[in-house]
Amino acid sequence: MILSALLTSVGINLGLCFLFFTLYSILRKQPGNITVYVPRLVAEGKRLLPTAGWVKKAWQPSEEEFLSTSGLDAFIFMRMFIFSLRVFSFGGIVGIFILLPINYLGSQLSDDSDFSHKSLDSFSISNVNNGSNRLWIHFCAAYVFTGVVCYLLYYEYGYISSKRIAHFFSSKPQPQQFTLLVRSIPVPPGSSCSETVEQFFKEYHPSTYHSHSVIHRSSKLLSLITDAEKLYKRFTQINQKSDAAQRQRRNGCLACFGHKADSSDHYEKRLRDIENDVRKEQSSLAGKEVSAAFVSFKSRFGAAIALHIQEGVNPTEWIAEEAPEPHDVHWPFFSLSFIKRWIGKLVAIVVCTALTILFFIPVAIVQGLTHLEQLEIWFPFLKSILRLAVVSQVITGYLPSLILQLFLSFVPPVMIMLSSLQGYISWSQIQKSACTKVLWFTIWNVFFANVLSGSALYRVNVFLEPKTIPKILAEAVPAQASFFIAYVVTSGWTNIASELFQLFPLLRNLKDRIFCGDNADFEAPSIPYHSEIPRILLFVLLGVTYFFLAPLILPFILVYFCLGYIIYRNQLLNVYVPKYETGGEFWSTVHNSTIFSLVLMHIIAIGIFGLKKLPLASGLAVPLPILTLLFNEYCRKRFLPLFKAFPAECLIKKDKQDQDDSNMSEFYDKLSNAYSDPTLKPIKFDGRHDSHTTPLLDSSDV
Amino acid sequence: MILSALLTSVGINLGLCFLFFTLYSILRKQPGNITVYVPRLVAEGKRLLPTAGWVKKAWQPSEEEFLSTSGLDAFIFMRMFIFSLRVFSFGGIVGIFILLPINYLGSQLSDDSDFSHKSLDSFSISNVNNGSNRLWIHFCAAYVFTGVVCYLLYYEYGYISSKRIAHFFSSKPQPQQFTLLVRSIPVPPGSSCSETVEQFFKEYHPSTYHSHSVIHRSSKLLSLITDAEKLYKRFTQINQKSDAAQRQRRNGCLACFGHKADSSDHYEKRLRDIENDVRKEQSSLAGKEVSAAFVSFKSRFGAAIALHIQEGVNPTEWIAEEAPEPHDVHWPFFSLSFIKRWIGKLVAIVVCTALTILFFIPVAIVQGLTHLEQLEIWFPFLKSILRLAVVSQVITGYLPSLILQLFLSFVPPVMIMLSSLQGYISWSQIQKSACTKVLWFTIWNVFFANVLSGSALYRVNVFLEPKTIPKILAEAVPAQASFFIAYVVTSGWTNIASELFQLFPLLRNLKDRIFCGDNADFEAPSIPYHSEIPRILLFVLLGVTYFFLAPLILPFILVYFCLGYIIYRNQLLNVYVPKYETGGEFWSTVHNSTIFSLVLMHIIAIGIFGLKKLPLASGLAVPLPILTLLFNEYCRKRFLPLFKAFPAECLIKKDKQDQDDSNMSEFYDKLSNAYSDPTLKPIKFDGRHDSHTTPLLDSSDV
């Protein structure tokens, strides 16, 4: 790629971004779009009309205000941007003002064209002459940059830990702090699970045991209730329409006034049937106990004791883990035994690895099937159209990339599915695990697939011969510098702008408004961390690895993170509603991914100094990854335990605070029922029912 | 090696063993040798004269009796033999009656010599024709053998776990069950460590905290006291000699009646000086507190709570670990901070790896220096002797192997030193860690060094290219079959017989008896697990890897384990005194090593079926190591936690038992002082003093 082409691309994409920004600023002021652009405020019952100056509004709230409105997870999501901005500000200054001129002054590539026709490679390390002593500046830059990144990582981990502790201290008593999920309960014959649990905990934790609720095998019931809810929603919609003719936005509805009375009766009858089924199922469910229970304790420290000390003599029985928030519980998959869950986990890992490595094989096959000739055979009647030059160009040029995008869009849901197979008990844990999976998938299929062009098997092979990795990467990575610069500009910038624009929700909203939908099934969305975090971390990886190879990438990445910072702040304040609170557990993914990026950069450095005939620098770079990994190991010891569980000091202090609190007896009453299965709550569809849906998602608020 | 040569070697070594046995049976009956052959009985104050029929006596005690006299660690040491005997009985039957005939019937090596001149390779898998379907029998044997070994491993792990729990339940209250070592105590300025500890635990564990004793920086004091003890021993010896002329075995002492009175006075004066120094040092030591303390609790469960839950907000402070038995505490190395200990650990790992990998380099250099010409240059006066044919043959033939043995004998002490560098707080943990180190050292420097002949760097290189490992091993391992058969016969059998004979203690005893030593410094030895277990596990490795390659090795290994079983049983009953009780923690080393052996066998199988032109079998063998590793992972989950800490169920049951015990108040009194630093106890050398030496080792018993 030459410089002028890059500038053109930057121009086009800046234009696109500007277009999106303008459209957003216009569209968000229209009252009909409030469920797209400020669903959060709608869900919270606020009806403030959005005003201009959204950038200012997104910028204004202080860290504390942002933390209190959007939760710790969103806060940490934003810390990721702040951390990246710091890293790449430093990297950008060093890269642009020191490394870039040195690269440009080299003559290895002997590119004699004028400035605007220069290949971008002239700005990369490839242009520095072999064996040149100027490479020592790159060497020093690698060391200094690593030091700065590690310092920032350490600072950030410490800062987030302190926020996590502070958040814990400021929180009200919450059921999940007092409750454990206990699985693999060995129920003796002739006894029920509930009796066994009560007996065991009264025997071994007499002073702290509070209550428990056994889990039931309720997946059939769940599907019945889901059906009923859908029917009920439809039913209320029909009733509302006939009753409330005064409602707005009735214009445009054409096909809705058919057999109103009939269908209303029909739905009512079906609802009654299902209701009976549900009651029958509920009463028979008492016997379908699963050997798992939520056990609540009188204090946080009491729960921690039962959590940390192995309970039974057999370590595969009485397995305790922290309970998730009540509305965050993922109810299926409770019935599995220890060994089944263990196998499920193994299967998920194997499938995930296979999917990641072999992803491009089915994509390539499907893309291969969409050649023009093939299409002509399948759809002979289209032959004349397909032979038009324009159509054929569009199809051959666009279809393969469309197919790739289609396949890619399936990846996060598939990873979510695999993670739930692993037997996690909460939506937050599933999303966290899927986040790691998607991250590896992205790094492999975007970074390594582009760097090591060739078959999937070839790429795996490279990593089976550890000795050759630095050399191969050092040859391949700099060669792709201009591709990734273009990638940041096209994919990165556009993604972030379209995040603001919310194309799909906007279209859905438009559809609803035209075809008499009335937003009855409106739900404020939550941010899909498992697809957003990997996408952003990929740019951190690109920035870190290309920092000393092709520093020209850094300004574009800086622009990406600046845009991202302000846009995601806006989205988190106005669009996304936090669905759960992990207390910042996502940070360890960010930390690990950054460490991986650094080590990858070091391996490439070792290779490239070798290629550039500077074996001494290559040898002296070897301690760099080792030191980085040791630093990581220290961070794991220093900070990670705080993200796994709270220390005794915090728990006991917090428990002592509660002792003076007069609301605790009320809380204990609630605690007993906090984790009862939603499907077992009484169901009544002729009035309001608030089973199953969480308060945040309750559709009746609109 | 040909068959007749093997038989000769077997004959010679059997003869040697028989000689050792006979000598042992004669020598042990002599009263003068009781400290060599039954030191344990001597140490325990029994003066039974040993009788004949030691094999019967060693055989007789039941498992329960053996367990109660020799402790759980010795019991597990013997279970290692029982496990190996079971494995190799099965393996031997399959190998000798099924695999051996098949190998012999092959014609790949086309060895036409008569039976007694057949090469041993004719009995190995190398002799089976390439691509022969008979190899499928080897393939099945590998699967079946793996299954049997895994079943036995599972059974044994379960059996030992149950013994461990039973041992815990039958034990009396012991200080280490109630005590934790707490390190990295953050002492605020202006406060002492003792105050900080008391304040912290009274605040956060008010109901269970009992007492604590802070650790002092006492290494200078320790060396003073050690000096004093040596002097005191010498002093009492001299006094005893002059006082008690009636003592036996005075004949033979020639040079002892010199300046008796003079030296007695001299020693007394020096002792008084040191005593003053010690007192001065002790009084100044109160200020030299180290930020570590032994904290005792009122119940086992209370200690477990403080152990398992992270105490402070900073995970690198208030680090708790289980306290060792009071007499097992390794007092140095307490003063180090978290980060220093972490660095110490890293350094130990690096040095240990370097030592293991590069061990042969210094050996080869030293061996290279002992060429005749070199010796002639160094010791020119020996020139005429060195030129004698006999002398030169002995030197060139024997000196290199002597040097190797000398270097090898330094390995266990060096590993002990490295392990103590890692900051372990007890002799048992140090020995356990050294055991693992010596094991890897042995496997690398005996097994791999012989299999992969070539430079150390070449061997390391092999493992850096994972894809080629199976092929290289499959070529190299069968080629060394006859070497290892000879190794089992010569090194294995002789080692075990000399273990019985106790050559060095016997010589020392002889020296003492001749040169007027009077056994005053007699100490019953404890078994050096860290050098014995790796040596035995090496034979398990040889048996497992050669099971289907060269089954001829199995009968010899069986003989080894039969001999070992009866001899070690005898030694553990009569010679070795248990110095500490880990509750069977050594078993995990045995388990892991066996799993490693199995996986190594599988990797060789994958390679050899490939070499033998049976790619299908090679491919079908791939699941074997994966399944074995999964089995290991399951065992780690199922059994390992029991060896790390006791579950709540056991602790609470045991605590409840104690509540009815009337001796507990007395025990609590003792508990407060159980872990006070031995160097800080009052010292008085003119009477008896019982500081520092443990009751078991107390020299005053003789």
pLDDT of residue A600: 94
Cα–Cα dist A117/A49, whole Å:
50
Contact B309 A305 (CB under 8 A): yes
Task: Measure in Å the smallest separation between the Cα of A461 and chain B Cα atoms.
Answer: 9
**B245 near A CB under 8 A:** no
**B206 near A CB under 8 A:** no
Contact B315 A204 (CB under 8 A): no
pLDDT band of residue A255 (cuts 50, 70, 90) is: very low
Mean pLDDT throughout A128-138?
89
pLDDT of residue B582: 87
Q: Which of B602, B618, B492, B469 is nearest to B553 (CA)?
A: B492
A vs B: CB pairs below 8 A: 96
Please calculate the CA angle B616-B620-B623 and round it to the nearest 5 degrees.
160
Question: A209-213, B336-340, B621-625: which has the minimum mean pLDDT?
Answer: B336-340
Question: A361-365, A587-591, B110-114: which has the minimum mean pLDDT?
Answer: B110-114
Contact B313 A642 (CB under 8 A): yes
B79 CA to centre of own chain: 15
Task: Measure in Å the smallest separation between the Cα of B697 and chain A Cα atoms.
Answer: 35
Beta bridge partners, B289, equal: B216
Beta bridge partners, B385, equal: none
Q: Determine contact, residues A208/A180, Cβ cutoff 8 Å.
A: no
Contact B639 A312 (CB under 8 A): no
Cα–Cα dist A375/A352, whole Å:
32
Per DSSP bridges, beta strands A179-183 and A289-297 are antiparallel
pLDDT band of residue B52 (cuts 50, 70, 90) is: low
Single-letter amino acid code for the residue at B414: V
pLDDT band of residue A480 (cuts 50, 70, 90) is: confident
Does the pLDDT at position B259 exceed 60? Answer: no
Mean pLDDT throughout B74-100?
94
Contact A464 B466 (CB under 8 A): yes
Does the pLDDT at position A652 exceed 60? Answer: yes
Name the more confident of B652 and A340.
Answer: B652
pLDDT of residue A699: 35
φ/ψ (deg, to 5) at B319: -80, 120
Give me B46's structure tokens.
């029994």
Diameter of chain B by CA atoms? 88
pLDDT band of residue A351 (cuts 50, 70, 90) is: very high
Does the pLDDT at position B423 exceed 90? Answer: no
Q: Which of A15, A564, A46 is nearest to A23 (CA)?
A: A15
pLDDT of residue A79: 94
Name the more confident of B124 and A376.
Answer: B124
Does the pLDDT at position A189 exceed 70? Answer: yes
Does the pLDDT at position A690 exceed 50? Answer: no
Mean pLDDT throughout A655-662?
85
Q: Which of B177, B197, B174 is nearest to B187 (CA)?
A: B197
Question: A228-237, A665-674, B478-487: which has the minimum mean pLDDT?
Answer: A228-237
**A245 near B CB under 8 A:** no
Which among A314, A638, A652 has CB closest to B315? A638
Cα–Cα dist A546/A478, whole Å:
8
Mean pLDDT throughout B161-170?
92
Cα–Cα dist A47/B148, whole Å:
72
Please state, rounded to an integer, the average pLDDT across all residues of chain A: 82
pLDDT of residue A366: 73
Q: Which of B538, B351, B525, B529 is nearest to B435 (CA)?
A: B529
* Coil, helix or strand at residue B82: helix
In a 13 Å sphere around the CA of B524, the CA atoms on its Cβ side amount to 28
Q: Which bin fits A184, alpha (ψ -120 to 50), beta or left (φ > 0)?
A: left
Closest residue of B to A652, CA-based?
B204
Does the pLDDT at position A246 exceed 50? Answer: no
Q: Determine contact, residues B59/B566, Cβ cutoff 8 Å.
A: yes
Does the pLDDT at position A289 exceed 90? Answer: no
* Coil, helix or strand at residue B220: helix
Which of A275-284, A306-315, B284-293 is modeled with the greatest confidence?
A306-315
Which residues in B lie closer than 8 A to residue A295 (C-beta atoms)? Answer: none
Q: Which of B166, B295, B300, B162 is nearest to B654 (CA)?
A: B300
**A626 near B CB under 8 A:** no
Q: Which of B552, B449, B563 is nearest to B6 (CA)?
A: B552
Task: Measure in Å the smallest separation between the Cα of B434 and chain A Cα atoms.
Answer: 23
Of chain B, the end-to-end C-alpha distance in Å amounts to 52
Cα–Cα dist A595/A590, whole Å:
9
Closest residue of B to A640, CA-based?
B315
Give me A414's structure tokens.
């598939």
Cα–Cα dist B104/B601, whole Å:
21
φ/ψ (deg, to 5) at B672: -60, -30
Mean pLDDT throughout B314-334?
83
In a 13 Å sphere around the CA of B136, the CA atoms on its Cβ side amount to 3
pLDDT of residue A251: 43
Name the more confident of B511 and A298.
Answer: A298
Contact A648 B204 (CB under 8 A): yes
Per DSSP bridges, beta strands A209-216 and A289-297 are antiparallel
The DSSP code for A682 is: -
In the block, which residue shows the tokens 């070594």? B13
Q: Determine contact, residues B395/B298, Cβ cutoff 8 Å.
A: no
Mean pLDDT throughout A620-648?
92
Range A153-167 burial, b when 16+ CB lie within 10 A, else e: bbebbeebbebbbeb
Does the pLDDT at position A247 exceed 60? Answer: no
Q: Determine contact, residues A555/A53, Cβ cutoff 8 Å.
A: no
In the block, which residue shows the tokens 């400021």? A170
Contact B637 A316 (CB under 8 A): yes
Task: Measure in Å the smallest separation between the Cα of A637 and chain B Cα atoms.
Answer: 7
| Each residue's pLDDT tens digit, B627-679 | 999 999 999 989 999 998 899 989 999 988 888 888 888 888 888 888 877 76
**A466 near B CB under 8 A:** yes
pLDDT of residue A340: 79
| Each residue's pLDDT tens digit, A89-105 | 999 999 999 999 998 88
pLDDT of residue A51: 59
Give the domain ranges of chain B.
3-170+502-653, 342-413+415-421
Cα–Cα dist A677/A217, whole Å:
10
In a 13 Å sphere around the CA of A49, the CA atoms on its Cβ side amount to 7
Cα–Cα dist A304/A178, whole Å:
8
Name the more confident of A473 and A37.
Answer: A473
Mean pLDDT throughout B134-150?
94
DSSP letters for A124-145: SGGGSPTT-TTHHHHHHHHHHH
Closest residue of B to A306, CA-based?
B648
Cα–Cα dist A42/A210, whole Å:
38
Cα–Cα dist A277/A270, whole Å:
11
Name the more confident of A702 and B260.
Answer: B260
pLDDT of residue A257: 47
Model confidence, pTM: 0.84
pLDDT of residue B104: 87
Question: A37-46, A690-699, B614-623, B682-691: which has the minimum mean pLDDT?
Answer: A690-699
Beta-carbon contacts of B173 under 8 Å, excluding residues fewer than 6 positions away, are: B658, B661, B663, B664, B667
Which of A31-45, A157-171, B666-680 is modeled with the greatest confidence?
A157-171
Mean pLDDT throughout B50-69?
79
pLDDT band of residue B290 (cuts 50, 70, 90) is: confident
Question: A239-243, B74-78, B249-253: which has the minimum mean pLDDT?
Answer: B249-253
Diameter of chain A by CA atoms? 89
Mean pLDDT throughout A68-90?
93
Using CB atoms within 10 A of its CB, is residue B181 exposed (0-12), middle (13-18) or buried (19+)? buried
pLDDT of residue A696: 33
Mean pLDDT throughout B547-563?
92
Mean pLDDT throughout A71-86?
94
pLDDT of residue B683: 61
Name the more confident of A51 and B5.
Answer: B5
pLDDT of residue B588: 93
Single-letter amino acid code for the residue at B145: F
**B15 near A CB under 8 A:** no
Mean pLDDT throughout B19-35?
81
Q: Which of B168, B639, B587 is nearest to A316 (CA)?
A: B639
**B315 near A CB under 8 A:** yes
Please state, rounded to an integer, the average pLDDT across all residues of chain B: 82
Range B158-179 burial, b when 16+ CB lie within 10 A, else e: eebbebbbebbeeeebbbbbbb
B573 CA to centre of own chain: 17
Rg (CA), chain B: 29
Give me B437's structure tokens.
């180190």
Does the pLDDT at position A285 exceed 80? Answer: no
pLDDT of residue A469: 87
Task: Measure in Å the smallest separation between the Cα of A387 and chain B Cα atoms.
Answer: 49
Does the pLDDT at position A148 exceed 90? Answer: yes
Beta bridge partners, A214, equal: A293
Does the pLDDT at position A636 exceed 70? Answer: yes
Task: Measure in Å the smallest separation between the Cα of A182 and chain B Cα atoms.
Answer: 14
Cα–Cα dist A444/A284, whole Å:
49
pLDDT of residue A258: 45
Cα–Cα dist B590/B585, whole Å:
10
* Coil, helix or strand at residue B306: helix
Mean pLDDT throughout A628-655?
92
Beta-carbon contacts of A233 under 8 Å, excluding residues fewer than 6 positions away, are: A520, A521, A699
Size (chain B), residues: 702
Mean pLDDT throughout B588-601?
95
Cα–Cα dist B70/B61, whole Å:
11
Contact A309 B308 (CB under 8 A): yes
pLDDT of residue B241: 62
Which among B313, B342, B650 has CB closest to A647? B313
φ/ψ (deg, to 5) at A324: -80, 175
* Coil, helix or strand at residue A216: strand
Task: Measure in Å the smallest separation between the Cα of B365 and chain A Cα atoms.
Answer: 27
**A670 near B CB under 8 A:** no
Cα–Cα dist B490/A475, whole Å:
54
Q: Which of residues 342-361 of B touch A (CB under 8 A)?
A: 342, 346
Single-letter amino acid code for the residue at A315: P
CA torsion sign for B283, B285, B287, B293 is: negative
pLDDT band of residue A695 (cuts 50, 70, 90) is: very low
Which among A316, A464, A645 has CB closest to B467? A464
Mean pLDDT throughout B520-527?
74
Q: Which bin fits B423, alpha (ψ -120 to 50), beta or left (φ > 0)?
A: left
Give me A273's structure tokens.
């049937």
φ/ψ (deg, to 5) at B118: -60, 140
* Coil, helix or strand at residue B295: strand
**B389 near A CB under 8 A:** no
